Structures are given as structure tokens and as C-alpha cells.
Structure 1
Amino acid sequence: MKTNILTAIMLALAILVGSCNAPSDNALYREWRLEKYNCIATSSYGLTQVNENCNYVLQMDKTGVFYCTTDCNTISGCFEKSKNALKFSDISFTELACDNMIVERSIVYNLPCIKSYEITDDSILVLKDDKGHILMELIRYDLPDESLCGKWQLEKYNSIVITSNELTDINEESDCVLQLNNTGFVCTTDCNIISGNFVEDNYILGFSNISMTEKAIEGIVSCDDMELERSIEANLHCVKSYELKNNTLLYLKDIYGHILMELTKQ
């Protein structure tokens, strides 16, 4: 009887040790942001750093389907995994004409060559070929702080026509709202729309791919010279961090900690 119990305990321990050595499925099934990649324009296995203003996100789904969104195109397909082995297949690629598609084409080239993966500290994912060379390095991509997401009313801003660090009050007749969510941001004013992407991590905040409509509407003070929109656009490019007070007051700051925009939660 004691022998049977001892055997059962040893078997359970063996299963436990085996499961600890294998990466968790849940650790792989999430969104990952590309940091470095094997570029098709270079001949070595040295990795190329992704431009900090670009956002390439690989989403691995439990159904065995993956999506990779870039600044211009979408790459999708299927994948299979077994312990550390990983294989991508049925890869498709939208081919919108963009200024620079070297990263997208490198990703499409690398994915079929991937044979294994490794996750470190539940936050760094490396994808390797059959010889163990790293083809892509990604970091865990978490959704923005839930308290940051939502609609924010702009109250004060750093005006591009004023040289001091004092903030300018929004005209009480104007309505300017910044909406943040996990797909990006949209800022609506009385006459124009500013939109793009943003990345947030532990109070570090950066906006990218910023675009703006440029409609000047006579009779609306804030639209006559578009000073407000141009100031917002300039400020967003400079935002590096944020401060949130009581989940109702949001400060967007530059690299020196100067407040560029002050907003209240709607």
C-alpha cells in the first residue's frame, strides 16, 4: 500500500516538473508589440530595432489564429504550437501602398521560417528559426490603464503662439474632447478631428501616427486660424508622460515634466 502511495506521489511530481518546464499557453495567447526583427534588407542575423514611432502588434488567439497590425497593413493566418515548437501557416498580407514597407515584408518573410519560441519573465517573446537564430523579438503589449481610457474634456493647453509655459484656457464656447481607447485616440474640436495611436506603460505615454483634418470655418473663433488644433497636434507629439488625479483630472506632460494639456473626465 505504501509503495503504491509513493509511486503516485512520484508520478504527480514528475507531471508537475514537466508542466513547469513547458511554457504556459496563456502566456503566449495575448498581444505582443514588435521591438526587433530580422530585416530582409540586411545579410546578417543581427536584429533591426523598430522605429519608436511605429506600432506593430502581433495578436495570438487561443483558436490558433494570429493577426499582426502595422502602421499600414495587416498580416494574418494560422499557427500551431506544441511545447516550445511554433509554426505559422496560411499567411496573408494586405498590400496597401505605404511609404516604407520593409518591416511588413520582413515580418511576412520571417513568419514561415519560425520553428520555436521562448518567453522570458512572462513579458518578452522571441521567435526562432530551426537553427535557433532569433528572427523576431517582442514585448508583452498590455491595454492602456482602464482609468486613462474614456472621454476627456480639454480645459487648458500649451498654445503655439505663446512663448511662456502658462497654459491657455479653452474658449468657454468651444468644445474639445479627447477620446482614448485600446484602438487609438480621437480628438474632436469645433471644426476638425485629430486622430492616431498611443502607447501607455506605467505613466509613460506616447502618441504616434497623428493625422488632422484641416478645415477652417469662418465665424467660429477657434476655426479661423486653427490655433487650437495646431497647438493640440504639436503638444501630442511632445507628450511623454501623464498624471491622473482622482480619475477625473488628467495632465499630459513633456519630457521635462511641463504640463502641455489639462483635461477633465466627461
Structure 2
Amino acid sequence: MARTTKTYLESISVLGLTAGASLEEIKEAYRKLAKQYHPDVYKLDNGEKFKEISSAYYFLKKHPDPPLENEAYTPSAVTDYESRRKAYKARQRKKKANEAAQKAQMFEWLFAKVRLFVLVIFIFNSLLAVDYFLPLVFEEVHVLQMHTTKIMNRHGANDGSSRKDYSYEAELDNGLTFKFKQRELNKIDIDESLILGRSRIFNEAELLQDKNAKITVYNQYGVFRIFGLLIPASLSLVIAYFHFVENNDYKLTIFLLLILFFIIQLFLII
């Protein structure tokens, strides 16, 4: 009977009641605590507190009356139980603190390793920004070869007719390439000498003109066209990484985005 008495006192203590509480008081205390410590609401102990409350409640449903006085367990039972609860909570807090410290050390090590790489991305995009605003270099070029790079089927909005929309890539005699859409290719005579406008630092082909500069076509896409928004986006992310974002998870997300943008930019330039 001593064990039953001890369990009764433990269960009453878990629900925050005193010995002799009525069944209605037990139910009310359970509803309140179960709502407060439900795993969907209280996420700090993986549902351990909720299990403890439920176990206490179901025991008291079967044994709602306090044990007889001559069977009563010594008051030290409650004290011992509370001591064990406090020790358990202390161990859990220490465990969480150690995990948080290890995670912080891991992030500190990682960010120290990638700091130089983030600076390289910043310098690279700063040079791209400068190159974008510098005047173009113009030179005379000839088209060596033309390749069809993409065919898209388009349907007319009115009559539903289907047509093919071609994209082309021209190899120039200076080693650069230039991407056309079909409608732009029809504007210019690729058999004649042309004037190429290219960037000064990264040597990116930007536009082609006929010799009289009457017709101009622009490169279909490149590090400055279509993907040019990656330059200010990367610069902004680097500034946020170093000066504004403190949360380690957010910093890691920014770093991964910077890597993705950098890979895309390198692919377009190389």
C-alpha cells in the first residue's frame, strides 16, 4: 500500500493539487495542464510533461481518494519526487544548453572558414557593377558560325496556330559568342562585318550593330542581361551577412544563396 500512497501523492503533486482533492478538481486541473503542455503547444521537452500529466490523471481516476492515514506514506515521498523532478529538469536544461553551445561553435567555425569566400563574391560583384557602368569597347567582328540553341513551340492567341521560335548562338572571330532570337537575326546581315560592343573588364558581348550603326541587336541573355539583377542582390546579401543579420540560421541561408548566385554568374561568364 505504501507504493500506492506514494503514487497518489506524486500524481496529486503533478496536477498541482493537495491530498483530498475532489474528482472534479482533478479533472479541471488535468484539462488546464493538458491544454498548456500539449505537444502541439509546448515543444521544449518532446511531450514528456504532457505524458507525466496524463499518467497522473489516469492514476487518480482509478484512485481518486487519498489513502487511509495509517497507510499514509511519509511526507518525504513528495519531497523526494520534487527533488527528482527538479534534477531531471536541470539535466534537460544543461543538455539543451550544451547542444546550443555546440551549435554556436559549429556556426562560428563555419563562418570563419567561409568569410574569405563571401568577400571574394563581394569583390567579384563590385567589379561586375563597375563593368556594367563603364562605356563599352567597340570593335569590328565577323560571324564564323551559327548554331541553333533552342526551339520553342508557340501558339497564336487568336487562331491557335503553332509556330517555332528559334534561338541562335553566333561564334565571332574574336572568340566571343552572341545569342540571338530569330526576330533579331532577321534584322542584321551576319555575312557582313559587324560592330561588337563588349564590356571592358569581363569582356562580355553586349550588342551588335551594322557598320552604319543603324541597326542594333542585344545579346539575348548574359551576366548583365536577364541575370543582371543577381549583381545588386548579391551585394545586398553580403552587406546583410556582415552587418545586419545575427541569426546563424539566416546567415547560413544567405551564404547558400550567395553560392547559388555566384555559380550562375560564373556559368554565364566562362
Query: Normalising to structure 1: TM-score of the pair?
Result: 0.21
| Structure with the largest fraction of strand | 1
Higher helix fraction (1 or 2): 2
Pick the structure with greater CA Rg: 2
